[in-house]
Each structure stands twice: as structure tokens, then as C-alpha cells.
Structure 1
């Protein structure tokens, strides 16, 4: 799968590649090391969440084929859009999951065999199978790191596992390989979950828009809609692009974009966002932003950037390994060579001690536990309804001393409910609610649903309403048992000259308490 955009001006070009197999920061680091020294590259950036690589280069010195070859040298695959290769990402993911399952089963079985005092060769064979099944990803990444003359975490873990095998400690080797493979798999799953979230955001906007021009109405892809075009958004449809309402009025549900629980009334001159849902009225909207520049597109970009940020502890482990690994190797080589050569020590003895040093020097607990703990914390928060956009924000949360909220909706449940009924002119409270619910029972507006739910919870009888009309942005009206009933907001009652000075003062007081008054009147 590849998305590519290529523009050439003189000898300068820009290309965006889709990278298959880029699932963690190690692969990003491998690409960065190769492209820093690749002739003709002027600038580049790798997007881990989107699995994209954007390259600015001199077309006279570098071709797209050479860029793809450089990515291939890192053990990954890259294509331009028009080539449309058959992706193997799903197969690779299934193969990785299968190997991890084999490694886990063999590791646990080896432990059981050891505890059951089975013959030594049985547990050794099981631990060897576990090591062989869990090692391929680490071996591949370690080999790529060595080819680029760098020593990362994968090299460190591979050396530790190899040393344990040479020493005959198959259980130790199996534990190192399996647990590290598990940690890498969990990290890859976290990245994939972020990609799923981004894809869900992208699906909030429709792929097509109904464009109105001199020739009439026609449906066209949103990517082809130009600025200033007039689009028609029918009731119940999603707004395809950011724009300004030029005709019509409706209550627009902006919750998918802004998180606001109640629909926002929109009319001429008001701004609407791509991804929001139109209510009961048709809207004509003048497009003000291309699809790539919409508010939702910017949100998606910020989510991608936030998810790509690793926690400080994870970054520390990477930097630590880049320095610590070569230092341990040099120390082990010195321990292997110096005593036998300078002091006549036994080669067998000092070889064994050098291998022991390599094994015990591997910070397995730090390397394995860091990504696992971050993933577990993010998943635990998500189960409780808290979305933390990356490990970096998770760790920074511990430094928070004060939290400011921009609106009360952030703290409330986001679902309106009736908190009180005030009847005037001696009419019973339940009668007022029954009239309102009779008109609102077929409305999907959150406030209407709250009124109906209140009536149902109090077992109030709702009569059949006729000639019900939705007054966009103001309320509704209809006939109930031969009586004309009007209900809505303060503005509607001002327009109908139904608001007195005392009523106005009471409404202002309710608004000051954060409550939304709904007024009901009958003929």
C-alpha cells in the first residue's frame, strides 16, 4: 500500500512513500541513519503512525527507485502510489503472532518440564524451540543495526541470548528472547491501535460532496472540490468540508469534532466543520478549506504526532543502549583477551567469564518492562474511558499540579436531563411535561429526548401530536388534543412576544446556573 505525491520543479522533487513494516521506533531510526548519508537527499521525515516517508531530494542525483532501495536496505518495503503492490502487512503480522504463540507455548512447556523433573534434553529442546521462534524479529533488526554501524537494544538482547546459549543456559536465553519479543509485539499493537484511531477519524468525513453550481447539483469527490464552491448538506448528512453557511438553518451535531454534547444552531454566516452531522434543516455551505486543511484534518495530524511520541523512559532506554551496548562489548572483549595474553590466564576460563559478563550486563528488566508498563497504563486508562495520547503525556501527567477546564461540559456526563419543572398559571407540572413530551417524542434532539425520558420515568401519558413542525435553532410546535403547543428557547418566545419581564429575569438566573430552560406555551 502506497500513497505518493510527486512534484518536480527544475531538479528538486518531493515524494511521499507508504512504508510497509515500519512498526516501531527502531525501524524509523534505521531509515533516518540511511537517509542522512544518502546523496541527493535534502530533507526527509518519517511518520510512524501513518507509515509514511516524505523525502525532498535532488532529482538529478536521486530517483524514487533509489529511495525505495534505501528503504529496502533497512529491511522494509516502499512503493509509489501508481505501482500499487500487493501488501504483505497482514501476512507478516499473522506470522509474527504465530511465532510469538509458539515461543510462548514452548517457553511455558519448558518451565513445566523443568519443574516436573523431566529429562534434561526435553526442557532444553523446548527452550531452544522458544528461542528460535521468538528470535527472528530481533535478529533481523540487530543485523540491520550492525550493517548501519550502530548498536541498539536489539543487538544488546541478541548478544545476551547468544551468550546464554553458549553457556548452556537455554532457559535464560529463552526467557530473554520471548519476553523481549512480547514487549516488541505489545509496542507494535499500540502503534496499530493508534492507526485504527486515526482511520476512524478519517472516516468521519464523507468521500463525496453534493456541489451546486450553474449547471445544477452534482456529486463529486471531496478532494476535487475547490475553495469557494457551494455544497448542499441535507438533513442527517455529514458535512464534507469546512465552510460557511450561506443559506438555510439547522442544528448541527459537532460532537465528533469538538466534543460538544448538544447540537449547535447554524445559520447564514456561521462556520461548520467537516465531520459534523447536520440536523433537521438543509444547509448551503461555501467551502473555505481544502480537505487536507480542515479542522478535522488538523486534529488527525495532531493525533498522529502525539501517538508517535515515545515516553521519556522509552527514549532514555534507546539512548542508554546506544552507549551501553558498545561499552559492554568492549569490556567483554578486553576480559576475553587481556588476562590470557598478558597474565597467562586460561582461555577457557576467561572466555566463560566474558560470556557471563555479556549475559549479566544486559539490562533485560529495563528494556522489557519499559514498553510493557507504558502499554499497560494506556490500555488501563482507555478501559476507564480516558484517552491518553501517547506515553510522553502519560509520564507528564505525574507532574500536573493544577487542572483548568474551559467549560462545564468537560466535567459533566454530556447527556442532558430534566432537573426541574416550574408551571405557571396554575397548570400542574406533570401536565406541562406531558404536553412537551407529546410534541417532542419523535425528535432526535438531545433535549427533546431528555424531556421524553423524564415523562416516561414518571409514567406520564403522551398524546398523539399532529402538524408537528421543527423550528430549527429555536424549538418545535404541534397540535395536542386540539390545542396548539409551542415549546423552545428564550429566543423563540421573544419572537412570538410570549416573554414577560419577570419570565426574562427567571431565564437569565437559570442560565447563570448552567441550566438550559425550555419554555412551553399553549393556546
Structure 2
């Protein structure tokens, strides 16, 4: 008896194009303490063109967590004669700058002058966790601020003592307003009317008018919105980082003395001989030199069933080896793997702005100054034209400033695009930028090369046939006994669908045939389940 199953044909990714990286020269640390932290792993990066007399500096800026900070940095650096190019990666909070040689210390000082704390990144260094404020602590402070602001509002309705209402409001503002005021003052000092500057003006104006609960509510709700936006970008970043986490941190490499030693995957050079055990993840791209196995490539190709691998076949980092041991020769370093290039593509995709995002950026540059001028005109000329007290019109101007602020447009669009790209990557879909993401709505038909790219990777038994002259119950019992001892997806499907025999059959000499199925001795006969 031989039971047959069919595997979809796997389309191998092409290695025809070389992916190049520009490895930065180690940059000197700036004088400021914030720039003297330990080197941080920069990861796979987009290549920027560096001309003669220029150098490339990559920075991690913890404070750069939304487009508002990006615009502030652009206004500070763009147009300077020593700055040739800027490249922002909000998802990773990284900034790449091409500048004149010897300009790095001045660059760091410029960023510090606008409230940023840059950390120089070094390509090839081991990952180092950057210190950041605890999200739980931040959420607790924001939640407490919102509760205090609501309590202050309630106090006004219940006619509580004025000192109690003011005290609650002040405490709410102090819990969340420090960072906003600091950013707002920096923005005003550099003549940048961003959302932090507008919120600082609105809250200060409300306080001067004696509207303490309103000031507290505006500040606390704005802080909550900023927290939600930052967490959205963090989730998107973790989704991209999760792609690289598919490859193991350590792999077994043949050393010069002929022994097998475990080494960090990032330190292994191209051309090394690597051993991967059955069931282990493959650490680097390479070509099989010895062994036969079936490899699960779903994380790379979307292929739902394992793909047979033998001498000369390619292997990809992040995929999972089957039941056979493999020896393979690495091709390229850690940053050159197909998995790293996929992660890089997602980062490049979020750097390219969608048409609606470009429109919003241009719109906000004109809209924000107009709203500010209208609010100022309303405060100055409202009493003269329409009558009423100055305080009433100043209050109305502040309301206009808060309501008409374009923060929802400026912030929500890039966050939505980045989150969508990262969510798609986590689901195995690679979208190359916001432009292509927007064009999805125009699709009428979707064509795929094979069903393996859109299936769940869990085959099911649809039908069974027994040749004439064979006893159905006996054959199906033997098939169940063989399938239940294999972890191949097709065998698992058979074991789940076939009826369980009332009496367990004695199995001996069970053996997995790489790429062909399994075989064993049952009822004094040799049986095979798999390909003919």
C-alpha cells in the first residue's frame, strides 16, 4: 500500500540582485552626555548617497516619536549649507544625516538645542536596549491627570470651593503639562507653530482667564492623544522587529580547529559552514552542502507546506528546518539576508509618504498660521466689531485655537499609514509604501500565483479511495498508524481525519524518508505512506 500526498510547488525568492549596504564609519561621540551612550545597533538601513567630503551619521532620537518632532527637526536642519540630506524613520525613531566632514558635533548640538537627545548609531554593533520612560508609569500619570481634570470639572458643577477646584486642575496640568510646555516653548523660540506651541498657548490663556478646569482638561486629553499615537508607532516598530526575531541569535559554525562552536549570527562572516539541527531555525541565507530535509518557508515565501531541500538548494534565514540535519554554506552576512531585506523594505515603505500624507503636510503649513492669525484677530477686533468684553473674546479665540488645530490631520495620517504597513507585514503581506496602500482601493481583481500563498498551511483530507480487492478498514488503520507518528502537515491532516482503530497496531522500524514520506513495519509487512 502506498498513500500519496501532493505538495504545492514552492517559488524560491531570487538572489539575483545584490543588496548593498553602506557601512558607516564609526562616528565620534559628541561632547554632550546624551550622545555618549554605548553604541546601538542600527540594523539594516537604506543606502544614502555620500559624496566626497561628506559623511553619514545615523542617530536614535527617543523624543522623535511623531511627525511634529520631524517637522521641528526639518525646520532646524534643512537649508543649512553643511547638511546634504535627511532621512527620517519615525517607526524606529532614527534619523540619518549626510553632512560635511567634521560637522557631527555641531549637528548634535543643533538637535539638543530643540530638546532632542540624539544617540549615535553604529552599524554592526550588538543591540543595546535604549532607556525610555516606562509606558505603565506614563499611562498612570496621564490617567491620573484625566481623572483630576474631570473631578475639577465636576467640582464646578457641584459648586466646590474655588481653591479645591484650582488645586485639582493645577495638579492635573503638572502631571502631564511639563513635556508639552517644554516642547511648546522650544517650538515658539524657533518660530514653529506646531501642536505643542498651540496647546501651550491655549492652556496658558485659559489659566490667565481663570478657566482652570478647561485648561486641565485640554492638557490631559492632549497628553492622552499623544500617548496613544506613540504606542501605535511602538506597536508598528515591534511588528517590524518581530520579522528579524524569526532568525536565531546564535548558530553553530565550523571553527578553524574543526570543532562546532556557537556564535552570534550577526558576527558570522560570509562563506562559513553552518550546521542546523532538525527542528531548528536557520540563521543565515546559504546553500546546502550536505544533508536532505524539508524546510518550512512560510515566513519567507508564504508556502504552506515544507519544501524539500538537498545539496545545492538555497536556504533562508528565519525558516524552520524539518527532520533532517543540514550543513550549508552561508551567503552574505546577517544584514544581507532576505529576511533582513524584507524588514528593510517595510521601513523604506513607511519612509515614503502617501499622496494624502503629502497633501496634509502641505495643507498644515498654510492652515496653522491662518488659524493662529484668525484667533489673534478674533481676540483683538471681536470686542470692537461685535461688542462684548475682552475676556469673552479672548476665551473664544482660545476655543478657536484648540478646535481648529490641525493636529488630528497631521498626526493621524502618518500613524494610520505606518500602522497599516506594519500590520500587513505581521500578516505576511509586504506593501511597498503608502502610495501602493492607497491604490488598493482601486483594485477590482486580485491574482495570486498559487493557492499556497493564501491558505492557512493546514491541509485537510477531502476524500479517500481504496483500490478494489483491498480491505478498507485494515488499510485505513495502517495509514492512521503511520500518519499519527509523523509531524508533517499532510500526515497530521490524515491522522485527524481518519477513523481511530479500535485496536492499536504494533509499529516497528518507523523511519522518516526526507521529502518522500514515512515507512515502518506493521503486521510483519513493510508499509510506506507518502509519495509513490
TM-score bin, normalised by smaller chain? 0.7 to 0.9
Considering only CA atoms, is the larger Rg found in Structure 1 or Structure 2?
1
1:68 corresponds to = 108
Q: Give the number of the structure whose residues are more often helix, by fraction.
A: 1
Q: 1:265 aligns with which of 308, 318, 321?
A: 308
SS in 1 for 2:458: coil
SS in 1 for 2:179: helix
2:509 corresponds to = 467
Q: Deviations over 1:289-312 (max 9, x none)?
A: 321121100111122334566776
What TM-score, normalized to structure 2? Answer: 0.78
Segment of structure 1 superposing worse, 327-336 or 85-94: 85-94
User: Which ranges in structure 1 are unaligned for 5 or more consecutive residues?
Assistant: 494-523
Give the 5 Å matches for 1:120-159.
Answer: 120-159=162-201
- Is it true that 1:3 corresponds to 2:46 in the alignment? no
2:447 corresponds to = 404
Segment of structure 1 superposing worse, 21-30 or 352-361: 352-361
1:506 corresponds to = none
- Is it true that 1:301 corresponds to 2:344 in the alignment? yes
Segment of structure 1 superposing worse, 201-210 or 121-130: 121-130
Distance 2:403 2:360 in 1: 10
Distance 1:303 1:433, change over 3 A: farther
Distance 2:293 2:448 in 1: 28
Distance 2:127 2:302 in 1: 38
Shift of 1:488: 0.9
Shift of 1:37: 4.2
Distance 1:143 1:345, change over 3 A: same
Segment of structure 1 superposing worse, 244-253 or 420-429: 420-429
Give the 5 Å matches for 1:39-50.
Answer: 40-50=82-92
SS in 1 for 2:132: helix
Shift of 1:118: 3.7
1:191 corresponds to = 233
Q: Deviations over 1:45-96 (max 9, x none)?
A: 2222222222333224x13x33332222232222336899997743364553
SS in 1 for 2:146: helix
Distance 1:393 1:170, change over 3 A: farther
Shift of 1:272: 1.3
Segment of structure 1 superposing worse, 357-366 or 80-89: 80-89
Distance 1:217 1:59, change over 3 A: same
RMSD: 3.9
What TM-score, normalized to structure 1? Answer: 0.79
Distance 1:103 1:267, change over 3 A: same
Number of aligned residue pairs: give it. Answer: 481
Shift of 1:189: 0.3
User: Which ranges in structure 2 are unaligned for 5 or more consecutive residues?
Assistant: 1-37, 43-49
Distance 1:154 1:321, change over 3 A: farther
Contact 1:207 1:240 in 2 (8 A): yes
Q: Deviations over 1:153-206 (max 9, x none)?
A: 222233233333333333433332222211111110011112222232222112
Distance 1:160 1:407 in 2: 57
Distance 1:116 1:392, change over 3 A: farther
Relative contact order higher in (CA < 8 Å, ≥ 6 apart): 2
Shift of 1:321: 3.7
Contact 1:242 1:274 in 2 (8 A): yes
Distance 1:27 1:89, change over 3 A: farther
Q: Deviations over 1:263-309 (max 9, x none)?
A: 11111222211010111112222222321121100111122334566
Segment of structure 1 superposing worse, 279-288 or 427-436: 427-436
Distance 1:88 1:214, change over 3 A: closer
2:271 corresponds to = 228
Distance 1:460 1:315 in 2: 68
Q: 2:497 aligns with which of 440, 454, 463?
A: 454
